[in-house]
Structure 1
């Protein structure tokens, strides 16, 4: 959270006053941690500070663009970070969204089949032998189950089409008594009394009186108003109340669709509120990358990636909780409430001001970096020359 231009083991070690990055690199790659225990500490901290029985579990994935083929999980795949297919590493995250605030609870790295079908590649990246291929909805289902099994209070789950289109995830949530509002595609098939129909075909036949204008929450420029409608459905004979929720843009007429479930009937406005909360995970991605270096890891192996992202999630949880506490204790008359960005700025400037380093220390680090880079460059050239000779 130091606000460094780049955040990696080199920059962190120099900022901390270390003579080299060796200690930081060992800390991530080889030091003895109780990784599961620290992950449980993150979950317990977030729930202790923000917990609410009506909280929403938000699932989504994010990608980090990478070069080469050696970084664990990397391949050419679609990532919303770039909005297209790129060489990237993708992970699924679970956000806890409550009235007081929101922060990450857990994450899981997505390993494509190109990795799980190549044991040698996985072994080189330190992937445990027990790890097998799992779809993104499966990873989400595992994280949600783990949270619920230890008593995390929550009433709803929401996510985008990747998760809404998965019937196994919907069935698991319904059987565990959780409500959900999960996006689906316009071509998603819905069972009706007249047979299976596409979601878009149902939407365009609705009469004017079927629509209600409701805000999906407050945005940066005011209320996010849309027209909404819902149609009662069934889903695999699962318990509870099931609907197709339809959102229509009041300016463009564009449609969006959601499969919904509630253990007991709830009004349309409740589903709309949950649908609007899905965007908290986008805020968490943006803020945790900007303020806690979630995406700036320069590591290749399984253990190092999990440790780096866990530390970033802990740092961001601290910012989110501190911001929530400030909202409870500080008057905001004539001021907008404190944001996580402002809290990080105040924390860095006031809590831990850093004296200017001595000239000798700065020069020593410059020498170390350039020596390391020269050795790396020579190694790359030697490997390239050897490959050319073999060919």
Structure 2
């Protein structure tokens, strides 16, 4: 019996991260395609199309990558489960902030599954596109993807589909995550979910979760006879941003009748004019929460949503060229996996201290920031020799220069051996036994 060949080595941090999922793939070529797509997602390609990804990973054509996403028999649910189990192992029971939101992508034509003219939050207007409800975690300031589910408009339902509103989908995602063992110290959402009533808020109450949700300015509250609405005095607080800069903002509590477990707040940058684009209404259920916590927790939702949008754009969330949702879903799951791979290099989520990349840090382009994008910049830098050699190799078949080829090989080998392993725990037999 012929032993299957070993997977081609690529970039050390990609190889080690993807090793966690290796058992899902029945053949070595599928596993290699899985690794190549991760490299493509984190690369500096402006559009993560399969032909361009094939070039930077050294493939002659895109057929293997296309087959992997459309016909290869790997199970997306098993991949998703392993990704979530990896996050749970790193969190070790510690709670996270959960953000439920939706993301939309503009798409031409009507052949793509579930495409429809609808509100696209990324664009801030109604366009022809596909929308998915997403669940993201925040731990010590670092974000990572959890679950997503496409929104299926009534007019676009296929046989066997069931219509669900976005808040209903969001509630299902929360139940699924909680059943897996995720713990939440706070849930943050926008007004679509905050105004959904029994479709969403009642589920949060049922699960006894703390939450902070945006509501509309005309949000109605039933008052008993003789009750009235009180607007308490404005309190100034410093809104602290992700880069640790801050600015003064103002918040006041609005009490409808008497203070209940659901509390209402108004946040603004200007107490005199209450400008529409910088005045927010919020409902909270969070025992003993202070006005400063309300202001900064709500602000967290805003900057995280902006960060998620930028991050997904960097990884090619909307760059798929498929029309079947089954294929699109596979692409999105790969993007989520690549996103997590980047997040796991953060100090907040690093499972083991690892060695400092002192020699890498001496590179003039090394990024010393601590944010997700800073980490991505450095991973792209480490990946450069592998990618650049694949791009220049076709020229070496025309003009053979042995010194150039051997020089690239030596550089790649040095970087591969110097890259400190932050995923060493993934190869520990006790961990595989405990997660089996």
TM-score in same-fold range (> 0.5): yes
In 2, distance between residues paired with 1:156 and 1:250? 27
Q: 1:185 aligns with which of 198, 213, 216?
A: 216
In 2, distance between residues paired with 1:111 and 1:93? 14
Structure 1 position 219, deviation (Å): 5.0
Partner of 2:185: 155
SS at match of 1:324: coil
Structure 1 position 99, deviation (Å): 1.3
Structure 1 position 196, deviation (Å): 9.7
Partner of 1:103: 144
Q: Give runs of aligned pairs for residues 116-155 of structure 1, distance below 5 A.
A: 116=157, 122=158, 129-155=159-185
Q: 1:231 aligns with which of 244, 247, 254?
A: 254
SS at match of 1:214: strand
Structure 1 position 352, deviation (Å): 5.5
Structure 1 position 20, deviation (Å): 2.2
Partner of 1:61: 102
SS at match of 1:348: helix
Is 2:195 the counterpart of 1:165?
Answer: yes
- The answer to which structure has the higher strand fraction is 1
Q: Which runs of 5+ in 2 are unaligned?
A: 1-41, 362-366, 399-436
Partner of 1:242: 262
User: For the aligned residues, what is the CA RMSD?
Assistant: 2.9
In 2, distance between residues paired with 1:261 and 1:273? 15
Partner of 2:374: 342
Q: 1:82 aligns with which of 123, 127, 142?
A: 123
Q: Which runs of 5+ in 1 are unaligned?
A: 117-121, 123-128, 363-391
8 Å CA contact retained: 1:100, 1:324:
no
Structure 1 position 276, deviation (Å): 2.1
Question: Could you list the per-position Cα deviations for residues 287-325 of structure 1 after superposition, in whole angstroms to 9, with x for gaps in the alignment?
Answer: 1211x1112111111111111111111111111221235
Runs of 4+ in 1 over 6 A off after TM superposition: 326-332
Partner of 1:277: 300
Question: Could you list the per-position Cα deviations for residues 175-214 of structure 1 after superposition, in whole angstroms to 9, with x for gaps in the alignment?
Answer: 11101111011111122345899xxxx5xx625xx22112
Structure 1 position 106, deviation (Å): 0.8
SS at match of 1:192: coil
Q: 1:113 aligns with which of 154, 174, 180?
A: 154
8 Å CA contact retained: 2:100, 2:134:
yes
User: 1:51 and 1:102, CA in 2 relative to 1: closer, same or farther beyond 3 A?
Assistant: farther
User: 1:159 and 1:52, CA in 2 relative to 1: closer, same or farther beyond 3 A?
Assistant: farther
Partner of 2:329: 306
TM-score, normalising length from structure 2?
0.70
In 2, distance between residues paired with 1:196 and 1:76? 43
